[in-house]
Structure formats: C-alpha cells, structure tokens
Amino acid sequence: MSEFEKEVEKAEKELEQSLMPIESVEEEKLDDEYLGDLKMQAQEYGQKIQDAAEKAKDYANEKLVQAGEKFNELKDKEPKELVEDAKEYARKNPGQTILISAAVGLVIGALLRRK
C-alpha cells in the first residue's frame, strides 16, 4: 500500500468519526430558534457598535476643530507672547503645570527610548 493510499484511508477514518447522526425535527427547530436569537443579538450589538463609532467620529471631529482653532490662535502670536502666557498660566496653576510637565517628560522619554 502506497503512502498516498494510507493517507486517503486515514482521512476516510477521520471523516467517519466526525460524522454525527441527524438530529430530530424538534431539535432542529430549537436550534433554529436559538440561532435566530443569536442573529438578533448580533444585529443589536452591530448597531450599538455603529452608534458608538459615529459618536467617536463626531467627538474626534469636534476636538480636531478645537485644536485647529487653538493652532490658529497660537500661529498669530509672537514667541514672546507665548512665553509670557505660559509663565502666567504657571503662576495661576502651579499644580497643573507640574503634572503637564511630567506627562510631557514621560511622552518624550518613551519616544526617545524607542529609537
């Protein structure tokens, strides 16, 4: 017996073992109802995901517009004005300034560590 014939015989045995008896009509009906419920739930989850994606897109667009406006404001200012604004902010909000500095330091450190 050739190797090919052995493989065919082995595949036939595996196929026979994997075959299952046909279910009764009632079991098939229950399976259809169960699958119908699963399909409805999948459609509901799909709709929820689409809604969440739309909300995320709207939020991102809103923040992008705000960032663009802020960029235009900063673009029109002189560097000396920006430094004075930063100093003024630091005087008014020292705790936030320290947290912002730490966050920027972590981001820069992570970027430099990757290279």
pLDDT in 10s for each residue of the chain, 115 residues: 677 777 778 777 776 666 555 555 455 555 667 777 788 888 888 888 988 998 998 898 899 889 888 888 888 888 888 889 889 989 999 999 999 999 999 999 999 988 6
Closest CA to 86 of 76, 74, 72, 75: 74
Rounded to the nearest 10 degrees, how much is the dihedral formed by the CA atoms of 61, 63, 67, 70?
120
Amino acid at 60: A
**pLDDT at residue 25, as a whole number:** 46
* 90 phi and psi angles, rounded to 5 deg: -65, -35
Q: How many residues does the chain have?
A: 115
The letter for the amino acid at 66 is Q
Distances (CA, A) of 56 to 21, 42, 65, 68: 49, 21, 14, 18
Task: Write down the pTM of the prediction.
Answer: 0.41
The pLDDT assigned to 27 comes to 56
pLDDT of residue 104: 92
Q: Which H or E run contains 71?
A: helix 25-76
**CB 97 within 8 Å of CB 90:** yes
